[in-house]
Copies of this chain bind each other. A is one copy, B any other.
Amino acid sequence: MEVKLNNKAVVLLSGGVDSATTLAIAKSEGYEVYAMSFRYGQRHDVELNAAQQVANHLGVNQHIIMDINLRAIGGSALTDDIDVPKAGEKKDDTEESGIPVTYVPARNTIFLSFALGWAEVLNANHIFIGVNAIDYSGYPDCRPEFIEAFEMMANLATKAGVEGESLQIHTPLIYLTKAQIIQTGIDLGVDYSITHSCYDPAPDGSACGECDSCMLRKKGFAEAGVPDPTIYQGK
């Protein structure tokens, strides 16, 4: 039985380079975009401000911010009082497993679950998430085998699954380098000056320039041969 899918898509939007590019790709492929962001107990709101600017800049049908407090379960330098490591520093967790302390437990699983709920309400057949298996920093929930397993589960979890319709999870960045991601976004007209990557920004919102996320971002712009529009602290 051939299933006719609609073109409605929920896009997970954090306000960083990857999710902004993912949103631009979804738009360029003709999807009707519903953007979803999360206030999950991050140390700072800079990220959500960036998400709102990106949604306005690229244009979406609707943008919602879900409030979920992941601090209650703890476990990460991004929501707890653990120091964010700077480049070259290794924290105990990293040494043992290759997974950095900035990993938030089950974060992508939780985000995709909410996207699934919204997709069901909207009757959307598509979810976009900007995960990346190349420059992925060692997070287990960025691997392609995880995404495939989530899609399989999602199609059993919902009314859509029961009614024989289908939900597809799209990961257009999964095999791209950071430089390729940035080049793709530039080609699609993304203004990266409004995106935010830093794990540990200053009170004025400027990036630290030294955390893993800043290092990856700098390297990406350098390799893409594109000027980095980010404002780094003290620059």
| A residues whose Cβ falls under 8 Å from a Cβ of B | 64, 66-70, 72-75, 97-99, 103-110, 112-114, 116-118, 120-121, 140-141, 143, 145-146, 149-150, 152-154, 156-159, 161-163
| Chain A interface, >50% SS class | helix
CA distance A206 to B74 in the complex (A): 36
Q: 6 A-B residue contacts at CB 8 Å?
A: A75-B120, A103-B159, A106-B117, A106-B120, A107-B117, A109-B117
The answer to whether B153 touches A149 (Cβ under 8 A) is yes
Q: How far is the CB of A80 from chain B (nearest CB, A)?
A: 10
What's the number of copies of this chain in the assembled complex?
2
Q: How many Å from the CB of A109 to the closest CB on chain B?
A: 5
A163 / chain B contacts, CB cutoff of 8 Å: 97
Q: Apart from A66-B72, A149-B157, list 12 A-B contacts with CB within 8 A.
A: A70-B117, A73-B118, A75-B117, A99-B159, A99-B162, A105-B116, A109-B153, A110-B110, A140-B159, A146-B153, A149-B156, A150-B153
Cβ B74 vs Cβ A121 within 8 A: yes
User: 5 shortest A-B CB distances, which residue pairs?
Assistant: A106-B117, A75-B121, A149-B153, A105-B117, A105-B120
**Chain B residues within 8 Å of A120, by CB:** 75, 105-106
- Distance in angstroms from A73 CB to nearest chain B CB is 4
With a cutoff of 8 Å between Cβ atoms, the chain B residues found around residue A143 in the complex are 156
- A149 CB contact (under 8 Å) in B103, B112, B114, B152: B152
Check B158 against A141 for contact (C-beta < 8 Å).
yes
